[in-house]
Amino acid sequence: MTKENIGLKWEYAPSPEATDHAKINKQYELFINGKFTKPNSKKCYNTINPATEEVIAKIADANEKDVDLAVTSAKTAYDKYWKKLSGAERAKYIFRIARVIQERSRELAVIESLNGGKAIRESRDFDIPTAANHFFYYAGWADKLEYAFPNKKVQSLGVAAQIIPWNFPLLMAAWKIAPALATGNTVVLKPAESTPLTALKLAEIIQDCDLPPGVVNIITGFGATGAAMVNHPMVSKVAFTGSTDVGKLIQKSIAGTTKKLTLELGGKAANIVFDDAPINQAVEGIVNGIFFNQGHVCCAGSRLFVQENIAEEVISKLKARMQTLLVGNPLDKNTDIGAINSKEQLDKINNYLKIGVNEGLEIYQSDNCSLPKKGFFCKPTLFIGAAQSNRVVQEEIFGPVLTIQTFRTIEEVIEKANNIPYGLSAGVWTDKGSKIFNLTSKMRAGVVWANTYNKFDPTSPFGGYKESGFGREGGLHGLAPYVNLI
């Protein structure tokens, strides 16, 4: 971006993505044993489009009996076929899923944006291709496990109960299902209550790929459904992505059992800009780090640390850049920031905006940004002059809200960045490789990006320190939680 066009908001004609090609049923049942099955609970709930508040479909609410059916079918499929299948044969199924996701990527992207509120640019260019890439990547490992773990005998575990949140619905499903299948386990997966649709489309894809019935079961419902999955005695492995509070509940409820557990929880990442950084790129990285996906990103760069002598310049460029951000219809290809996922989440973010103001912080929002009348939207927001003790600095907001602190020395910023209960990710912007290595080795964070932010690749492990959880997903590391090594 040149100096001249920073802060200039272009007027674009509306450019909405077509939705007529996206096939969405009026009602979805539970995907158990290879078939869509009526829930024993006889209950269902409405899933909505958070950008319009319109109902999209009715979704089944699985009770304990439904969970039992799903887990039993996963266990039968495990014992009967899946654990006996060679890695090369398992790989064929996983490759097939990857290819069908690619083929249907346009439809999946539209449904992800309709149900989750994220800008189509993100679901189209990030979520869906990355989900397909995870299946491709782990398909490649399925027949090479002896090379992943040399000199060890690799044993699968059995049934994996997998519970995911609403911020990257299909991608989180891919992160969970692909390594589980590659290592020879079977799956019961539950998407978040507010974003079930792409997981249910994935169930259709799995049916079309002729996976043996019961190898993947996808059931919908609320927290109680997730709890029943975690507590089912036939489950050998629990993989959870979500809030730290629910992660702690799960950890307590399986204590004393032999169930294996991975937890991917909340975050509050530091994004650190030194005075020798390329400032314009850093400003883009800051914007991408916190406003990407409405800030519904566990690894969002939600705490900005700027070296004191460049703070004024960075903040003024950031404000100018924020004037150009387009908030609105998630299906419009020009939209930068789509809808907040739910009313509940919007209320939570708005409450933090009040807290920040009451803490005496300077608040900045673009005056060039109007929000749609219907739906759940939030303006991108800065809190300038924040301090370590502020609640908006310490607590996860999970929205497009950035706190800004300044620092003078590298020791000071490492201390401040680490002084938080979370440790999922961080970013650093500097011209000096030595500074990057010094800082990355001292950051208590699972991922540290240097001169970039929010970059993902199936070959790289991802996971947290401290209250951000334990265990890694992605890469070679992501296989380990799904196997016993003898």
The three-state secondary structure class of 227 is helix
Among 241, 271, 293, 381, binds ligand NAP (CB under 6 A): 241
Measure Cα distances from 248 to 224, 236, 300, 413 in Å. Answer: 15, 18, 21, 29
CA 161 from centroid of its chain's CA atoms: 18
Among 25, 52, 207, 243, binds ligand NAP (CB under 6 A): 243
CA 464 from centroid of its chain's CA atoms: 13
Based on the shown chain and the rule CB under 6 A, indicate whether residue 39 belongs to the binding site for ligand NAP. Answer: no
Based on the shown chain and the rule CB under 6 A, indicate whether residue 239 belongs to the binding site for ligand NAP. Answer: no
Which contacts of 5-10 are long-range, i.e. CB under 8 A and separated by 24 or more positions? 6/280, 6/317, 6/320, 6/321, 6/324, 7/320, 7/321, 7/323, 7/324, 8/324, 9/323, 9/324, 9/368, 10/324
Give the bridge partners for 384, in sequence order: 362, 404
Based on the shown chain and the rule CB under 6 A, indicate whether residue 163 belongs to the binding site for ligand NAP. Answer: yes
Based on the shown chain and the rule CB under 6 A, indicate whether residue 235 belongs to the binding site for ligand NAP. Answer: no
Based on the shown chain and the rule CB under 6 A, indicate whether residue 264 belongs to the binding site for ligand NAP. Answer: yes
Among 298, 414, 443, 479, binds ligand NAP (CB under 6 A): 298
Query: Catalytic annotation on 209?
Result: no
Based on the shown chain and the rule CB under 6 A, indicate whether residue 120 belongs to the binding site for ligand NAP. Answer: no
Alpha-carbon gap, residue 350 to 289, rounded angstroms = 20
Catalytic residue among 209, 298, 369, 378: 298
CB of 465 to ligand NAP, least distance (A): 11
Based on the shown chain and the rule CB under 6 A, indicate whether residue 246 belongs to the binding site for ligand NAP. Answer: yes
Tell me if 93 sits within 8 A of 181, measured CB to CB.
Answer: yes
Based on the shown chain and the rule CB under 6 A, indicate whether residue 347 belongs to the binding site for ligand NAP. Answer: no
Among 34, 116, 179, 266, binds ligand NAP (CB under 6 A): 266
Decide whether 332 or 396 has the Cβ nearer to ligand NAP: 396
Give the bridge partners for 47, in sequence order: 57
Total residues in contact with ligand NAP, by rule CB under 6 A = 30
CB of 141 to ligand NAP, least distance (A): 20
CB of 62 to ligand NAP, least distance (A): 10
Range in contact with ligand NAP (rule: CB under 6 A) among 105-113, 158-166, 381-389, 476-484 = 158-166
Range in contact with ligand NAP (rule: CB under 6 A) among 59-67, 69-77, 186-194, 209-217 = 186-194
Query: x/- contact string, 425-464, with ligand NAP (CB under 6 A)?
Result: ---------------------------------------x
Among 113, 396, 417, 443, binds ligand NAP (CB under 6 A): 396
CA-nearest of 232, 177, 180, 179 to 199 is: 177
Task: Tokens for 153, please give them.
Answer: 């005998």
Torsional sign, CA 212, 218, 219, 223: positive
Give the bridge partners for 239, in sequence order: 162, 262
Based on the shown chain and the rule CB under 6 A, indicate whether residue 467 belongs to the binding site for ligand NAP. Answer: no
Alpha-carbon gap, residue 127 to 148, rounded angstroms = 27
Query: Catalytic annotation on 298?
Result: yes
Decide whether 45 or 95 has the Cβ nearer to ligand NAP: 45
- Name which of residues 76 to 105 contact ligand NAP (CB under 6 A): none
Catalytic residue among 17, 264, 396, 473: 264
Q: How many CB atoms lie within 10 A of CB 305?
A: 26
Tell me if 268 sits within 8 A of 368, measured CB to CB.
Answer: no
Q: What is the CA radius of gyration of the chain?
A: 22
Decide whether 189 or 479 has the Cβ nearer to ligand NAP: 189
Torsional sign, CA 24, 29, 32, 36: negative
- Residues annotated as catalytic (active site), given as ranges: 264, 298
Which residues form the interface with ligand NAP (CB under 6 A)? 163-167, 190, 192-193, 222-223, 226-227, 230, 241-243, 246, 249-250, 264-267, 298, 396, 398, 424, 464, 468-469
